[in-house]
């Protein structure tokens, strides 16, 4: 069947839109357009790429759908850039797992397998005493200072775990495991808020035990004992997840709710 002139025009616009979107996407990923900056106005994009306004608008729609930009309409409108980060990766992973109906315990088991490896790598870093340990001790002090506030203690503890993973020298492992930790943090912080509202949050004794486990982990990292760091991390994660999963054992991972999306953006 022969296409009409209108259909040919639409196909051409779509192809040009994809080319423009690809060029802008490459710039964002290469750092040529920084996170939080604004894309050039549509007039400028039309002139730069030599395409029509409909093609530019479709290119922006593609990038907005992919999460690379947020488009504001109106006289003061524009397209704000969002470079992909750990929150983006964790959110995308969470949506995939949620669509697969994967349970919270399954996520925890993956994290309990991989995070101890990151702890061991921290202990193997030659600069751990100068870079890793001081930051972890800062976070220990912060969590110790809010140990009487369950929800705040959970958030501070999750920040500690994120930092341990964030110091892994392998970039690929760091991104993968931080995506898991960000997703787990969303589940655990929501759990903590719910438990606090019910008066069922773990006791101060249990919080103190978690804090002491963090302290032992930092000591093992400082001493360069990779095996001990991995052992402590696995033991602590298993114990913590056991408490959380008493409530969430039959719960599917939540990434799509408004509360979860807000936590991803905050992270």
Q: In the chain, where are the structural domains located?
A: 5-81, 86-266
What's the rounded mean pLDDT across residues 110-128?
A: 98
At 29-77, the pLDDT tens digits run: 999 999 999 999 999 999 999 999 999 999 999 999 888 898 887 666 6
The pLDDT score that the predictor gives to residue 1 is: 43
Q: Is the pLDDT of residue 217 over 90?
A: yes
User: Class for domain 5-81, per CATH?
Assistant: mainly alpha
Q: Which residue has the tokens 């979107």?
A: 21
Q: For 50-64, 185-199, 248-262, which range has the lowest pLDDT when averaged over its residues?
A: 248-262
- Measure the CA–CA gap between 212 and 140, rounded to whole angstroms: 9
Burial of 215 (0-12, 13-18, 19+ CB in 10 A): middle
Q: For 55-69, 76-90, 121-135, 146-160, which range has the lowest pLDDT when averaged over its residues?
A: 76-90
In sequence order, what are the residues at sequence separation of 6 or more whose Cβ sits closer than 8 angstroms to the Cβ of residue 163?
135, 136, 139
* Bridge partners, 174 (sequence order): none
Sequence-ordered alpha helix ranges (H) in the chain: 5-29, 42-49, 53-65, 86-99, 104-124, 133-145, 150-166, 171-198, 204-222, 226-248, 258-266
Percentage of the chain modeled with pLDDT above 90: 79
Mean pLDDT of the chain: 91
Entry pTM: 0.79
In sequence order, what are the residues at sequence separation of 6 or more whose Cβ sits closer than 8 angstroms to the Cβ of residue 1?
none
Quick check: 63 and 25 in contact, CB under 8 A?
yes
User: Class for domain 86-266, per CATH?
Assistant: mainly alpha
Between these two residues, 263 and 100, which has the higher pLDDT value? 100
Same fold across 5-81 and 86-266? no
- Measure the CA–CA gap between 71 and 39, rounded to whole angstroms: 10
C-alpha pair distances (Å), 148 with each of 162, 205, 229, 234: 21, 10, 27, 25
DSSP notation for 197-213:
HHT-SPPHHHHHHHHHH
Mean pLDDT is highest, among 25-39, 72-86, 113-127, 243-257, for 113-127
**DSSP 8-state secondary structure symbol assigned to residue 250:** T
């Amino acid at each position: 069947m022969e296409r009409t002139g209108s259909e040919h025009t639409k196909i051409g616009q779509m192809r040009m839109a994809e080319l423009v979107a690809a060029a802008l996407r490459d710039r964002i990923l290469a750092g040529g357009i920084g996170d939080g900056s604004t894309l050039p106005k549509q007039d400028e994009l039309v002139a730069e790429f030599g395409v029509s306004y409909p093609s530019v608008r479709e290119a922006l729609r593609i990038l907005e759908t992919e999460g690379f930009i947020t488009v504001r309409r109106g006289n003061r409108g524009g397209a704000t850039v969002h470079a992909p980060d750990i929150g983006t990766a964790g959110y995308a992973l969470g949506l995939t797992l949620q669509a697969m109906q994967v349970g919270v315990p399954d996520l925890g088991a993956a994290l309990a397998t991989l995070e101890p490896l990151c702890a061991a790598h921290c202990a193997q870093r030659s600069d751990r005493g100068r870079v890793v340990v001081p930051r972890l001790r800062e976070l220990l002090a912060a969590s110790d200072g809010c140990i009487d506030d369950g929800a705040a203690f959970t958030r501070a503890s999750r920040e500690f775990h994120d930092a341990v993973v964030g110091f892994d020298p392998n970039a690929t492992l760091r991104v993968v495991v931080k995506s898991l930790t960000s997703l787990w943090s969303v589940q655990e912080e929501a759990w903590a808020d719910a438990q606090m509202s019910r008066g069922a949050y773990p006791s101060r004794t249990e919080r103190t035990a978690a804090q002491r486990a963090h302290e032992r982990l930092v000591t093992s990292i400082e001493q360069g004992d990779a095996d001990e760091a991995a052992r402590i991390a696995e033991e602590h994660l298993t114990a913590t997840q056991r408490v959380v999963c008493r409530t969430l054992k039959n719960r599917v991972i939540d990434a799509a709710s408004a509360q979860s999306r807000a936590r991803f953006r905050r992270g």
